Structure 1
Amino acid sequence: MLQAQEPTLDDFQQLEGCNEVLNVTRPDIVRSVHEAYFAVGVDCVETNTFGANHSALGEYDISGRVHELSAAGARLARESADAFTARDGRPRWVLGSMGPGTKLPTLGHIGYATIRDGFQANAEGLIEGGADALLVETTQDLLQTKASVIGARHAMRQLGVDVPVLVSMAFETTGTMLLGSEIGAALTALEPLGIDMIGLNCSTGPAEMTEHLRHLSRHSRVPLLCMPNAGLPILTKDGAHFPLDSEGLADAQETFVREYGLSLVGGCCGTTPEHLRQVVERVRGLTPPARDPRPEPGAASLYQSVPFRQDTSYLAIGERTNANGSKKFREAMLEACWDDCVEIAREQIREGAHMLDLCVDYVGRDGVADMAELAGRLATASTLPIVLDSTE
């Protein structure tokens, strides 16, 4: 919708494709998109700040503008929301969009502290610009998701305010997130961060989201959201085409509200104002059924959740990746033979461990550096949760 209004290269300040710059140079274009959706009856819109984060703006060498462009995007959405509320008295809300960026911290593309602090600047700008809630969306890497949520918490503490934090994950057609995380692992890892809502958006259409929503409905303690694409994209000579029509999206969202008790529904890629008009007509006035979630306590790795449910007589924690309990592991660590350390972990996996203990405490060593090195390696070399074991 932004591109359809043919912004010029000058509008982009010579940064072609950086849509967030339009918040400053062409507020009329951005405002028109918000108005198109409010006009069909939606309760809330997202800010034009999906890429207003350290790594995405860093691609244009303007990472120092995260706060500026975030605040400008939130102000535009706030102005539109308030204008529509003034007409009929019905509240409208602004969701501050915090996109995933372009780098995956789990794979070492960017440091955790760097990405966390970038998301803090993103969140501070959104809150100062008038966002009612922060939407950590289209998340693909659980470590990136955590960095976003913690960055948002730091922003709220810095500003002395408290707004809801919503998390929306992107699951591929494989059934997992980009790095292989299952829905159970995601819920186990993210819910304890104190988020206010959890759900899915992007990557697929509603048909592919059904089983994930069923799991969340059964186990999540917090309310649920869903913003699917208009089906799986089909590549044509004119670009991506999204095949799901507005009636199909409305059918799916009504079903999700009725069957899974969703509290927030909308649309992502390919969903036009007409799609949302029909969704509004179908779900407005519906009362989601009360859910009776049965939380499943457990521990999660990047890939899977291991419930604290013992089918055997004990839960086995592999202790050989412990500098105090294993001479072989300690010597490999002291010599920085990291591959040997990982192989010791894998031996325990093959022997049936349910989790891996990791202890690097040793006199004279930099425990922080050793823990960062080995925890990072084990996180992707094993599908088992890691028990971080330290006297520090």
Structure 2
Amino acid sequence: MTGTRSAALCEALATRVVVADGAMGTMLQAQDPTLEDFENLEGCNEILNLTRPDIVRSVHEEYFAVGVDCVETNTFGANTAALGEYDIPERVYELSESGARIAREVADEFTASTGQQRWVLGSMGPGTKLPTLGHAPYVKLRDGFQQNAEGLIAGGADALIVETTQDLLQTKAGILGARRALEALGSDLPLLVSLAFETTGVMLLGSEIGAALTALEPLGIDLIGLNCSTGPAEMSEHLRYLARHSRTPLMCMPNAGLPVLTKDGAHFPLGP
């Protein structure tokens, strides 16, 4: 079944605009999970895949209910670097698999009830370590991303999305970790890549959009684009560059503008 769903997703990406969901973390936090729900690892949203699947499920349901084509799994931090900060790096596979399984169940229910095919994008977030700056060995990060991807594939993702990367070596670790997982499991899911650009117009470590495209396109990715970091206005120039030069289809997932810090925490200024 996965093969047919993924083929249909590739067909949709090639022929029309495919709409994905939006923020996950703020939607989870809005339901006030307790410290107990987090197993005392406050802020480790991926734990909720096991302790409060109902909360995670409700987020996916809200997005599908308004008509999105795809949701991303609640696995943005299910990688060696991020889970290592909570001292649970050995749970990468388990949390990735459970996140994909919840999203898959909801997607299948909506596909059946609405007749509109819904897909699951397996989220592979960047983690907290920049290999170019020597924060962690490249091979360790790559192998962690492989476990992340293997869990997502096992849980039923229709595509893998290496997202919000700030360092091209980190991006490469994610892509090659995903490739190794696909090979190990005999799977051919599409691989999407989304980079985070700063307001300065470059990635955190200074790479320009042209450098990113040149470095990543040869790795055989199915979609390239930008996410997070800024609002739509700041992304338009980069997208213009990609539209002119990329042989790979494009994706864009902006924030609702740049976060404004208020006394109640970060606030995003743009409405839908």
**So what's the TM-score if we normalise by structure 2?**
0.90
Q: Deviation of residue 62 (structure 1)?
A: 0.3
* Other-structure match for 2:210: 184
Cα offsets for 1:171-202 (capped at 9, x unmatched): 00000000000000000000000000000001
CA apart distance, 1:215 = 0.4
Tell me what 1:117 maps to.
143
Give the total of aligned pairs. Answer: 246
Q: Which residue of 2 aligns with 1:17?
A: 43
Q: 2:32: which partner in 1?
A: 6
1:93 alignment partner in structure 2:
119
Aligned to 1:72: 98
Cα deviation, residue 212, structure 1: 0.2
Shift of 1:9: 1.1
TM alignment of 1:202-281, pairs within 5 A? 202-246=228-272
Structure 2 residue identity aligned to 1:146:
K
Q: Hey, what's the Cα distance between the residues in 1 that align with 2:126 and 2:207?
A: 16
In the alignment, what sits opposite 1:147? 173
Q: Deviations over 1:316-341 (max 9, x none)?
A: xxxxxxxxxxxxxxxxxxxxxxxxxx
Is 1:163 aligned to 2:189, yes or no?
A: yes
Aligned partner of 2:213: which letter? Answer: L
> Aligned-pair distance for 1:54?
0.2
**1:23 positional shift:** 0.1
Deviation at 1:232, TM superposition (A): 1.1
After TM superposition, give the deviation of residue 228 of structure 1 in Å: 0.2
Deviation at 1:7, TM superposition (A): 1.0
1:89 is displaced (CA, Å) by 1.6
Counting only pairs closer than 5 Å after superposition, residues 302-341 of structure 1 correspond to structure 2 as: none
**Distance in 1 between the 2:138 and 2:261 partners?**
35
Residue identity matched to 1:119: F
Residue equivalent to 1:50: 76
Give CA-to-partner distance per residue, 1:69-101, whole Å, 9 cap, x none.
000000000011001011022100000000000
Aligned match for 2:225, one of 171, 177, 199: 199
SS of structure 1 residue aligned to 2:30:
helix
- CA drift at 1:5: 1.2
Query: Equivalents in 2 of 1:118, 1:180: separation in Å?
Result: 25
SS of structure 1 residue aligned to 2:225: strand
Structure 1 CA distance for aligned equivalents of residues 64 and 256 of structure 2: 19
> 1:106 offset after TM fit, Å?
0.3
Over alpha carbons, which structure has the higher Rg? 1
Give the Cα–Cα distance (whole angstroms) in 1 for the partners of residues 230 and 246 of structure 2: 21
5+ residue gaps, structure 2, are: 1-26
CA distance in 2, matches of 1:65, 1:193: 28
Deviation at 1:233, TM superposition (A): 1.1
For residues 193-235 of structure 1, what are the alpha-carbon distances to aligned partners after superposition, in whole Å with 9 as ceiling and x for unaligned? 0000000001100000011000000000010000000011111
Q: Give the distance between the partners of 2:107 and 2:64, measured in 1 at CA.
A: 8
Tell me, what secondary structure is at the counterpart of 1:235? strand
Query: Of the two structures, which has the highest relative contact order with CA contacts closer than 8 Å and spacing of 6 or more?
Result: 2
Correspondent of 1:40 among 44, 63, 66: 66
**C-alpha displacement of 1:238:** 0.8
Structure 1: 4+ residue segments shifted above 3 A: none
Alignment of 1:63 with 2:89, yes or no, is: yes
Letter aligned with residue 196 of structure 2: A
Partner-residue secondary structure (3-state), 1:82: helix
Quote the residue 2:134 is aligned against: 108
The more displaced of 69-78 and 235-244 is 235-244
Name the structure 1 match of 2:3. Answer: none
Which AA in structure 1 matches 2:218?
Answer: P
Please give the per-residue CA displacement for 1:149-180, whole angstroms capped at 9, x wherever unaligned: 00000001110111000000000000000000
Provide the C-alpha distance between the structure 2 equivalents of 1:174 and 1:6, rounded to a whole number of angstroms. 35
Deviation at 1:241, TM superposition (A): 1.1
